[in-house]
Amino acid sequence: MGEKLVSILVPLYNGERYIKHALTSILNQTYKNLEVVISDNDSTDNSVAVVNSFKDPRIRLIRNPANTGAEENWNKTLKEACGAYIKMMGCDDLLHPACIEKQVAILDDTQHRDIGLVSCSRHIINSSSRIIMTRAFGRKSGRVNGRTAIKEIIRSGTNPVGEPLAGLFRASMRDEIGYYRTTSHNPHKAECIAIKHEGFHVWRYAPDTTRADTMQKLMPKRVEKTFQGSYAIDVDYWVRILARKDLYVIKEPLCSFRISPNSWSSQIGRRQLKEFIQFIKLTAKENPGYVTGVDALIGQIRCCINVMLRVMVFRLYA
């Protein structure tokens, strides 16, 4: 059997400064069976021209006729993915050469069929690509029970699993849990369906509202249809995967997450405290049997500390 197709998704908006470096890091992977799905969100710079300068047939460029908002653009790339495994990454981030190969090896292992998500440590780099620090999921390595991981995520007050580029997940998880939770002001917000899975509330988000309405008739649970914030949509997605499957942590740094004054993560970071606390409360509400009030309180306290540290890092190094 040959290599399984891996989809690498790159939502793009005004990324002309870094998109060439990001795409080069993808195309130089030691694992070759890739598709690169790029969704340009009506960029006003030369981002599209830079992408078109690459002639690699693995690249597929989609252009939105109007800006849909970041979360909707994420969901568009997610919907377009055709691979067995999926990775989302920013247009200014970098993958180290063996990243995909090492993460795929975990998911391909028949002993890891109950692993839904593989994450790795990552370098945090600034606008000049200088390494500022390395982040990891604490001291963890190897298999981590999904529900244990959720509790630790909440208690950490941050996203220890990692930014989207740190994770590789099975496409079957997208088919089970749906798409990223979107903000309430978006007219095309994803609908939410509550599904009971082994006593644990799993929340599925589907852009097709007709399908969602049909399924919801079969699911009498109360649901939260929207997520009021962009900062935690990635960790929220990890939690929804880990409600069904386990996590595998690779300690080695296999990617680089960029912080810069103009990055999306920098902009939404200014409101991260409010949004992450909302995420903690929502997760505790949806999963009362596994996230306690004490977990939520510890997470909120640590979130306050993390926000102050993040602001300092951005001011000093971005």
How many CB atoms neighbour CB 197 within 10 A? 11
What's residue 230's pLDDT? 66
- Token pair of 162 as six digits: 């990692």
Beta bridge partners of 131: 125
Category of 152 on φ-ψ map: left (φ > 0), alpha (ψ -120 to 50) or beta: alpha
* Residue 294 burial (10 A CB sphere; 0-12, 13-18, 19+): exposed
What's residue 277's pLDDT? 84
Q: Count CA atoms closer than 13 A to 266's CA, side-chain side.
A: 19
What's residue 211's pLDDT? 38
What's residue 183's pLDDT? 62
What pTM was computed for the model?
0.84
What's residue 281's pLDDT? 85
What's residue 231's pLDDT? 72
Torsion, Cα 178 172 277 251, to 10 degrees, reads -160
What's residue 278's pLDDT? 86
How many CB atoms neighbour CB 118 within 10 A? 24
What's residue 72's pLDDT? 93
Mean pLDDT per 10-residue section of the chain, whose length is 318 residues: 93 96 98 98 97 98 94 95 98 98 98 97 94 92 95 92 97 95 51 41 46 35 48 91 96 94 55 82 81 88 80 65
Q: Which domains does the chain have, with CATH numbers?
A: 6-317 (3.90.550.10)
